[in-house]
Structure 1
Amino acid sequence: MKGLYCRAGVSDAEPKFVIQETSVAEVLGSHQVRVKVKACGLSPLDLKLLSDVGIQRDLIPVGREVAGVVVQVGPKVSSFQPDDEVVGILPLDSPCSGLCDAIDIDEQYLVQKPEKLSSVCAAGALRDGLHAYTALHTHARMAAGHTLLVMDGASSFGLMCIQLACYHGVKVLTTSHSPQTRSFLEQLRPSVGVQNPLVARVIPVDSGTSDLLSVVLEETGGLGLDIIIDSGVRLQDGEESEGTKFLPHKHDIISVLAVGGHWVTSHQDLQLDPPDCRLLHLKSASVSFLNPEVWTASSAQQGRYLHILKDTVEKMSAGVLRPQPEEAVPRYEATVAMEAVQRHQRTKAVVQL
């Protein structure tokens, strides 16, 4: 059988994605499950993170969000039986590519897939759901009555954050990068219950200038925001590259935080100057770094991780979380799709096997 792998480039060369022949072991491990893969999600590969945690290989497996059917279980597996439909995320050091016909994976990385939830939807949205739970519950300690700002709410991750927060009684503000995304966000409604808008206010940032501070103070009665989730920030004034022109400045983020507020950032290289730290200190506010791989890189909180995965797929099945529909591509287009994902020409892709 064949899988998709990344051959990391030398120096600054772009990584190459190739289809390679591979096979599964003849004998399953005690706690391993053999899964026939039905759908696999493709997300950007963080080669620097892999290097930082000591994973260096000539060929790196690609495609870690998988949904499929159990075909065989190890002698000590207690959670699954053959023919169970499952979904999960392969660990960072997994030797398997999710695009193989069958993979061997420890049972601790899988949860049952609800019958109503399609394999394509589960594989495509599982990572975003996990990120949203980690940001809102684990880092920000979200509670009913809080006020939240989600940067770029029309992104797949932003949309998950908005829906999850509204389900828990949080007032949500968000930003939009175009008139089309602004209209989309303003028309968001829950699938069940009272059909009030999910977003209390959409703040346009497509003009290059933003009324972020004035709008937030108006919406919060001058108190500021309890939680802010960014999709990156600008570290310096005048930083106007194509990838940063819509991002807020770090000082703007800190300025709109409430006393005791939480800022959850995706910016890996965030640098705070002494005035920024002083303002955070005065507000007794906190900054948390959102590392989506922390759950599979460490087994310290495995039970909580499985609870998050289970709750995510159950809420997707019930319609509480409605991810943006992702059109599945066939396996022969996986290499091209992954190259586009890695170059950030598309946010993600789902391959149907």
Structure 2
Amino acid sequence: MKGLYCRADAADAQPKFVIQETSLPEVLGSHQVRVQVKACGLSPLDFKVPKSVVDGCYQFKLSDKKIENRIAYWCEYKYEWLSVCLYVRPKPEKLSSVCVAAALRDALCAYTALHTHARMAVGHTLLVMDGASSFGLMCIQLASYHGVRVLTTSHSLQKHTFLEQLRPSVARVIQVYNGSSDLLPIVLEETGGLGVDIIIDSGVRLQEEEELKETKCLPHKHELISALGVGGHWVTSHQDLQLDPPDCRLLHLKSASVSFLNPETWTASSAQQGRYLHILKDILEKMAAGVLRPQPEDAVSLYEATVAMETVQHNQRKKAVVQL
């Protein structure tokens, strides 16, 4: 059997991805299970996850049975230590393996951001940055289903046209690709000057003078804090976010909060097992019912997986799906 492996010997070395042959035991033990993988979603590996976070990973037993029409979602870290968590859920018949593999991680992130961190409720107002991305689209669909008013931003003319077609699920699409940012005044206009209840970003600028191509469409951190309403929640995916005293002061005055989105930590504690499995079950049910409709994703073969994984790891590509 062939598998995709990562080589990262030194902490500062660039990881290398290779395809290697591996052998499986012909006779399985009483606590082992053989899973046939039909499609796999590739996402960046975080080598900075501390050992203490995943040392609490638990193990649970699976009987020696053939698993058909199931979805396996796992988190794996490899250094001098190894922790693996495997979760198996039934796959809805109407959904293809490629579709589920492409959407499951983004749906999990959206569910974690909106339900776990932001505690969204009917009547809330949500601002989603880059709503045309796969993650942003999941946030829009999930929030609209729960009666949340959604504002979003577009990072190109093509994305703007796509988001306009989502009305009435999207109340307002704000252009941020034309050089001038009208994000804050438009948000205040749409909310009567009160600000939004929830903000979910796709990255932020820490300095006003940042003019890099990849950060040109990103909002400044102070701009997002100013767009928050009283008691609002800002869910960020920016790992190195730094807040200055004026930013903290403004958050304090609004009694607002900042949460960091890292869906991998669901597997870091055995106490979260039940909640995590419930989230996966609810996501699959919503996908089967058409509530969550992922964007189509072209799958690559296993022989193209090394190149695809390297582009994902180096942030040159948002995600990839391997079909086996």
Aligned to 2:148: 170
Structure-1-length-normalised TM-score? 0.84
* Contact map agreement 1:152 1:176 (CA 8 A) in 2: yes
Say whether residues 1:187 and 2:165 are aligned partners: yes
Aligned to 1:84: 68
* Contact map agreement 1:203 1:210 (CA 8 A) in 2: no
Say whether residues 1:306 and 2:277 are aligned partners: yes
Say whether residues 1:159 and 2:137 are aligned partners: yes
Unmatched segments (≥5 aa) in structure 1? 56-73, 96-104, 189-195
Shift of 1:28: 4.2
User: Structure 1 residues 142, 81: CA separation in 2 closer, same or farther (over 3 Å shift)?
Assistant: farther
Look up the SS of the partner of 1:300 in the other structure: helix
Q: May I ask how many residue pairs the two structures share in their alignment?
A: 316
Aligned to 2:89: 111
Aligned to 1:222: 193
* Contact map agreement 1:91 1:297 (CA 8 A) in 2: no
Shift of 1:117: 1.1
User: CA RMSD, aligned part only?
Assistant: 2.3
Aligned to 2:292: 321
User: Structure 2: which amino acid aligns with 1:149?
Assistant: L
Structure-2-length-normalised TM-score? 0.91
Aligned to 2:238: 267
* Contact map agreement 2:35 2:67 (CA 8 A) in 1: no
Aligned to 2:323: 352
User: Structure 1: which amino acid aligns with 2:143?
Assistant: A
User: Structure 1 residues 282, 319: CA separation in 2 closer, same or farther (over 3 Å shift)?
Assistant: same
Q: How does 1:117-136 map to 2 (within 5 A)?
A: 117-136=95-114
User: Structure 1 residues 235, 52: CA separation in 2 closer, same or farther (over 3 Å shift)?
Assistant: farther
* Contact map agreement 2:205 2:220 (CA 8 A) in 1: yes
User: Structure 2: which amino acid aligns with 1:43?
Assistant: S
Deviating more after overlay: 232-241 vs 24-33: 24-33
* Contact map agreement 2:33 2:66 (CA 8 A) in 1: no
Q: How does 1:1-353 map to 2 (within 5 A)?
A: 1-8=1-8, 10=10, 12-25=12-25, 28=28, 30-49=30-49, 53=53, 77=62, 82-93=66-77, 109-188=87-166, 196-353=167-324
Query: What is the CA–CA distance in structure 2 between the aligned matches of 1:50 and 1:157, rounded to whole Å?
Result: 25
Shift of 1:242: 2.3
User: Structure 1: which amino acid aligns with 2:318?
Assistant: T
Deviating more after overlay: 236-245 vs 110-119: 236-245
Shift of 1:52: 7.4
* Contact map agreement 1:50 1:92 (CA 8 A) in 2: no
* Contact map agreement 2:230 2:255 (CA 8 A) in 1: yes
User: Structure 1: which amino acid aligns with 2:97?
Assistant: S
Q: Percent identity?
A: 75
* Contact map agreement 1:87 1:110 (CA 8 A) in 2: yes
Shift of 1:336: 1.5
User: Structure 1 residues 270, 160: CA separation in 2 closer, same or farther (over 3 Å shift)?
Assistant: same
Shift of 1:208: 2.7
Shift of 1:323: 0.8
* Contact map agreement 1:233 1:244 (CA 8 A) in 2: yes
Query: What is the CA–CA distance in structure 1 between the aligned matches of 2:217 and 2:143, rounded to whole Å?
Result: 23
Deviating more after overlay: 148-157 vs 234-243: 234-243
Shift of 1:3: 0.5
Look up the SS of the partner of 2:322 in the other structure: strand
User: Structure 1 residues 211, 20: CA separation in 2 closer, same or farther (over 3 Å shift)?
Assistant: same
Look up the SS of the partner of 1:5 in the other structure: strand
Query: What is the CA–CA distance in structure 1 between the aligned matches of 2:125 and 2:32, rounded to whole Å?
Result: 43
* Contact map agreement 1:42 1:350 (CA 8 A) in 2: yes
* Contact map agreement 1:42 1:348 (CA 8 A) in 2: yes
Shift of 1:23: 2.5
* Contact map agreement 1:92 1:296 (CA 8 A) in 2: no
* Contact map agreement 2:34 2:67 (CA 8 A) in 1: no
Q: Deviations over 1:104-162 (max 9, x none)?
A: x86x6111111111111111111101000000000000111100000111111111000
Query: What is the CA–CA distance in structure 2 between the aligned matches of 1:87 and 1:332, rounded to whole Å?
Result: 22
Unmatched segments (≥5 aa) in structure 2? none
